[in-house]
Structure 1
């Protein structure tokens, strides 16, 4: 990949998706796009760039390029202290003194292949079963169509579920009838309380129709520069109900940012 082609790609990726792509990541970008060159039977990155930025490429190839360059590391119950805080403080507070019917609305922004969504679903299901008149719905969004398709399917390798407590596995997971596959699937009742859609956090406005009680946007902002991080957090805040909570990843900091949210813990903010 020539410096010119790399600069053209990295500038676009940064502007369109907020992902920092410095010179040190040139080899990584080459490796991740090699499969796309092979799939399109192209001999060079120059040829790929010319196609990618053509009208046809923007329509047909851009989603595949984004899938290739985005990092999709996720796990069930990742950063478990967040789930403890959600269960012990946030959910009781949100439902305190409420009479009648209440549906808790939660958004997992940057949900990848869905593990975070279904971890949240298990926690919310357990909570709402204890509080009469409550229910929940979770929206998962991601920029990668490939990851969203996996989230909707909700099928995972058995070695991915080690961090799910055994009693939750028995209640929410279904083993494949074909034992050779060694996969599980989230049960239908849990999947029915979720929906997934494509959303780019770099968009000027976020096309989600609800105001949310809780938003998880964890380990996504680390790929953005400081100004973009601040802008994204404030746009997420617009989608929170008053008194709602935003959870960030443990490696993400909001120090020296002008925000419309108040930190209540190092990576938890409240509207």
Structure 2
């Protein structure tokens, strides 16, 4: 038997999720939230959502249950080479522009951040593309930081093992060089090669944190199909936070349905869904 989520408990949960994660949870999401959190009720042996809310909002609940709530309510949809025009722009336009800016510090690595990396397909795509650049230019090197709020998807990303059907968008050249085939023919899988896995640091990060605590400034941020879950005020605040960690001249890539139009940020649009911090 599934527990029923009352309007009162839905309102309590949606307000908590907004305060802690910045994610808007409209009433249309009641069925989704009910289904996902019923699993947590069963795991905790709770009778109803009122008991669940009481536990979640307690000090012990915030410490122990918060990570499970995040894993339950976040949506994680990604693919290898998703929105491929972004990777074309990265190689053909952004990198040459950044190399020109960095010509007086040629030994410094390019630093790129996959913010909201989900199960890892985006940062591994970045790594493939940038590894090709490095192969042609021995003075070029890079590091990738990949973060997400969900521990569940970060575990998948770190493992770097994917079902064979996930690599349909990957070109044969990249498949041969950067993907390893598993031996189980009944469950065909691939794994990203160790050389690329070493290029990426995965970590957990909540965009609502006052300080992201990044160890270094970055040159490029990919934050695609993430801010659509936030309201406009939260989106604008987040973009201004991003700008504080982005070097002058750095690039911000958003998702195909996302825009900074009308927001007060230090970014200038240079292509559809691509922005640059010029000052």
TM range (shorter): over 0.9
Alignment of 1:36 with 2:27, yes or no, is no
Alignment of 1:145 with 2:151, yes or no, is yes
Q: Name 1:79's counterpart in structure 2.
A: 83
Paired residues in the alignment total 271
Q: Name 1:249's counterpart in structure 2.
A: 255
SS at match of 2:210: coil
SS at match of 2:78: coil
Contact 1:173 1:184 (C-alpha < 8 Å) held by counterparts: yes
Q: Greater shift after overlay, 200-209 or 118-127?
A: 200-209
Among 12, 37, 50, the residue aligned to 2:16: 12
Among 103, 109, 120, the residue aligned to 1:114: 120
Q: Name 2:168's counterpart in structure 1.
A: 162
Q: Name 1:47's counterpart in structure 2.
A: 51
SS at match of 2:141: strand
Q: Greater shift after overlay, 247-256 or 203-212?
A: 203-212
Q: CA deviation at 1:104?
A: 0.8
In structure 1, the gaps of 5 or more residues are none
Q: CA deviation at 1:51?
A: 1.4
Contact 1:199 1:207 (C-alpha < 8 Å) held by counterparts: no
SS at match of 2:92: helix
Q: CA deviation at 1:233?
A: 0.7
The 2-side partners of 1:133 and 1:81 are apart by: 25
Alignment of 1:263 with 2:273, yes or no, is no
The 2-side partners of 1:10 and 1:263 are apart by: 33
Residues 185-227 of structure 1, C-alpha deviation per residue, up to 9 Å, x if partnerless? 1010000010011101111221211111110000000000111
Q: Name 1:98's counterpart in structure 2.
A: 103
SS at match of 1:112: coil
The 1-side partners of 2:46 and 2:172 are apart by: 48
The 2-side partners of 1:266 and 1:231 are apart by: 21
Residues 89-135 of structure 1, C-alpha deviation per residue, up to 9 Å, x if partnerless? 01122123736423110000000111000000001111111112111
TM-score (norm 1): 0.97
Q: CA deviation at 1:37?
A: 1.4
SS at match of 1:123: helix
SS at match of 1:24: helix
Q: Name 1:210's counterpart in structure 2.
A: 216
Contact 1:152 1:196 (C-alpha < 8 Å) held by counterparts: yes
Contact 1:244 1:270 (C-alpha < 8 Å) held by counterparts: yes
The 2-side partners of 1:95 and 1:171 are apart by: 26
TM-score (norm 2): 0.94
SS at match of 1:270: strand
The 1-side partners of 2:12 and 2:141 are apart by: 47
Q: CA deviation at 1:140?
A: 0.4
Q: CA deviation at 1:268?
A: 0.8
The 1-side partners of 2:28 and 2:186 are apart by: 41
Contact 1:102 1:133 (C-alpha < 8 Å) held by counterparts: no
Alignment of 1:24 with 2:33, yes or no, is no
The 2-side partners of 1:196 and 1:186 are apart by: 14
Instruction: State the Cα RMSD in Å.
Output: 1.2
